Structure 1
């Protein structure tokens, strides 16, 4: 809701009274004489379905965080676009940006401040040239100026005008930010508050409670007002096959005799043509694959930014995989017992003597449990899954191009599982990519509606846990699982991530985030295998585990929800 003010002093700002809804996401406030122009808000308690676009859940952006980097960059760009729309950009002489809650507490480590500066300069996460970000940030700090939308230069000192409110939070959401624009006489002319709710989605107070409306906040094109109006009608009213939860999704699949991917595809046809859906899905996968390639081909000596001095591990691990260490896995016709016969008498322990032939006293354990030579343990699936996930998350930590899946902090899990399937199982790559991504998107929609995909709200169960659940369901689907088995796989994937905290050391998306994605990828494959070996019937449903995750997140102390005030963040020394 962009508030536009009549000329007044900073301390005595004329209060907005009413206005009209513009572009689905702002309210334009004018003088009291036009107060009659009002559009009623939609009922915030309306029980909308879970369907959002696959391409809102999977979006191409930059690291290291969807909620702390991608979202704030979008929010800042929205604010600047709104100033342009209302022909105020040239009147702006100064800006102030305030970050609150988790955005402030871990903003430095997540690059929130840099992302906001790029958004102010008119950049978007999917198009910004990542190699130019740091030099441009350096120039802003050095020259103490910034170019609004890349065209209108104003004085701007990040040390004074970019404020980290470490001990304040806005009531609507932990990831809050406020932007204020002033004219040359220091009169406020516009302000807005935005909330980055995970996965790059941005809302404000006016739309936060209206489920589904947050998809508008990824629109940045010139016809955004028309697109938003159309999307609002489609998202809320006329998707082909709506569903609110997993139970309804399964019912739709069985009623229509469709797979989950087919249901999602039919809904996407309301927004895109078949050619556009295919092109966008393949572009998402190609970006994922690029991030894996860039991660494994990076220098083994490269250190990740931020001060933890973490060295990239994926390149070295991948080089070992390329050496062809893995031979065929032997098969067995029947179960082979591994029991060991119990001894019938005390074992004879050899005595040792010193050079004077005196009996030498030594710990018995040295002879009973002698130290062993290191052995090689070969389990290719685990190694490939791990190295692919680590590669993506190292790229994310370096601030490079990745896909929110469904967030940046969890960006490695889904690409890792899909890459493994593509390399070792797939016989029809294009079809498999489409089915995998559409299936995982459906599961992500359920979590987004039923709980949250924001670590600032749910802890890491809302990011890596959700990604694990999505990947498990997608993997079960492309292996030919039934709808019930896919739902079971997704449920197992989340059930065993419940309570997972978000405690990034030094506010960086590195420790424990990078390894956590690798373990989630392995867990996703294991969950799918368990589900496929069953018949789809299970005691705990996906809907039940989503609600449990929501309750767990609400009960979780804030210090374990992306604030770096608890857990590993306070127990791992920084030097």
Structure 2
């Protein structure tokens, strides 16, 4: 059984896409590590990178070529100053020199050495191959697949069941919702505590808290930056940032602040009516994904394209529902949301290139709905019911980004997913789970069946839907 940590589901990285940016970035790092382990790194003379399928079709809009160059250069997506990204890439383009792993300078022309192939590889829609010519003229190549959420695998994964089993260290291995509920009943614990016990099998309490603090800090800073940045997004669609104006209007009567933490406290003092709540939740979600679209730093939750839903719903709880909320509440929320996301990843997919946007916004909404339900006092059964409700009303959602950019309709979808998550939580809290007609496991299965039936042009290829119905010239 594959053990997926909360920190696998919630990764810190650079936008705009976990599958098209963070995944290829990590694949480049992994390829370099493997070449070093094989003793071939110092013999590399030339490099060529081949991209296939969805990575190729929407790679330009998703900055996949940027990610590959940055990954090959040795930059870390978790720590690189985002303001340096364009300068590094521009330097490679102008000089046609790549400093491989920041250790070895090679001739490298991005125009010819990064190849966008339209064909799909059979294993997964997001394929890329690194090819190296060594000093003696021999060739080395390796193919990777970016399967969503920043996860990268090789094709051997289909034979990996035996290999993974020996690394199964979780005391409560979980594949399905029914298994999770059985553990909660057996141990008489809420979902967050079951997940915490699993995490303790991998790292100490101090490490868990530090990493969760870091994830929340990145989410909060991302919302803060998005709410205080104006202008238009890059990419050619001329999309104007909206979080800035919404935030400014909501904060008219508020006090002053000088940091994200003080900002959160100040928001709690603003007027709260139903319309203001809707605006705040939308503002938080839009802010994150506007930062994401600008190659800013976000947390995959479970992907970059859906990164705004979870922080928006968690902020809703902290600034609307519970002004006394502290790190323990944040911790529970992130633990529960991560576990729900892993159930979808194991039983279906979190890749829009495989399942459409139901696999991104749908899953993030389900994650947020379940996590909010536990914080609001819901039982484990109600938590999974909320997750099911949220996904049920995203089934069939296509991925059709205009211009291959993670902007239209992606940014707004985060706002809608956050609102649906809150609504799903309230519906579950007011319901008797024993009377639910659709269990979470059934909706996971249905989502996967829907994904397999969905036409490929609605799976992050920009070959159907809004992507062809709206022309760049119209923007």
What interval of TM-score do these two structures reach, taking the shorter chain for normalisation?
over 0.9
**Residue among 392, 400, 418 paired with 1:521:** 418
2:175 maps to which residue?
244
Q: Give, in angstroms, the shift of residue 184 of structure 1.
A: 3.9
Aligned CA RMSD, in angstroms, stands at 1.6
Indicate conservation of the 8 Å contact 1:89/1:148, yes or no.
Answer: no
Alignment of 1:496-507 (within 5 A): 496-507=393-404
1:308 paired residue number: 237
Query: Which structure: greater helix fraction?
Result: 2
- Supply the distance in 2 between the matched residues of 1:205 and 1:253 (Cα, whole angstroms): 35
The Cα offsets for residues 329-363 of structure 1, whole Å up to 9 and x where unpaired, read as 6xxxxxxxxxxxxxxxxxxxxxxxxxxxxxxxxxx
Task: Determine if the alignment matches structure 1 residue 279 to structure 2 residue 210.
Answer: yes
- Counterpart for residue 567 of structure 1: 465
Q: Match for residue 92 of structure 2?
A: 140
CA contact (8 A) 1:52 1:212 kept: no
1:418-474 superposed Cα distances (whole Å, 9 cap, x missing partner) = 011111223231110011000111101100000010000000000000000000001
- TM-score, normalised to structure 1's length? 0.77
What stretches of structure 1 of length at least 5 have no aligned partner?
Answer: 1-47, 214-230, 330-377
Alignment coverage as a number of residue pairs: 456
Residue 250 of structure 2 corresponds to 321
Alpha-carbon deviation of 1:86?
2.4
CA contact under 8 A between 2:223 and 2:284: conserved in structure 1? yes
**Paired residue for 1:298?**
229
List aligned pairs for 1:55-70, cutoff 5 A.
55-70=7-22
- Tell me the alpha carbon deviations over residues 2-60 of structure 1, each in whole angstroms, 9 at most, x when there is no partner: xxxxxxxxxxxxxxxxxxxxxxxxxxxxxxxxxxxxxxxxxxxxxx25x4111011010
Match of 2:332 in 1: 435
Shift of 1:185: 5.4
1: CA distance between counterparts of 2:234 and 2:408?
A: 12
1:306 to partner: Cα distance: 0.7
Unaligned ranges ≥5, structure 2: 255-269
SS of 2:115 mapped into structure 1 = strand
Q: Contact conserved, 2:130 with 2:142, CA < 8 A, in 1?
A: yes
Q: State the shift of 1:536 in Å.
A: 2.0
45, 49, 57: which is aligned to 1:93? 45
Q: Is the 8 A contact 1:314 1:388 kept in 2?
A: yes
2:285 aligned to which of 389, 393, 403 = 389
- Is 1:206 equivalent to 2:156 in the alignment? yes
- Aligned mate of 1:175, from 121, 126, 131: 126
**Alignment partners' CA distance in 1, 2:380 and 2:39:** 52
8 Å contact from structure 1 (residues 64, 396) kept in 2: yes
Determine which structure has more spread, i.e. the larger CA radius of gyration: 1
Query: Is 2:292–2:298's contact at 8 Å kept on the other side of the alignment?
Result: yes
Secondary structure at the aligned position of 1:277 is classed as: helix
TM-score, with normalisation over the residues of structure 2?
A: 0.93
Alignment of 1:474-513 (within 5 A): 474-513=371-410
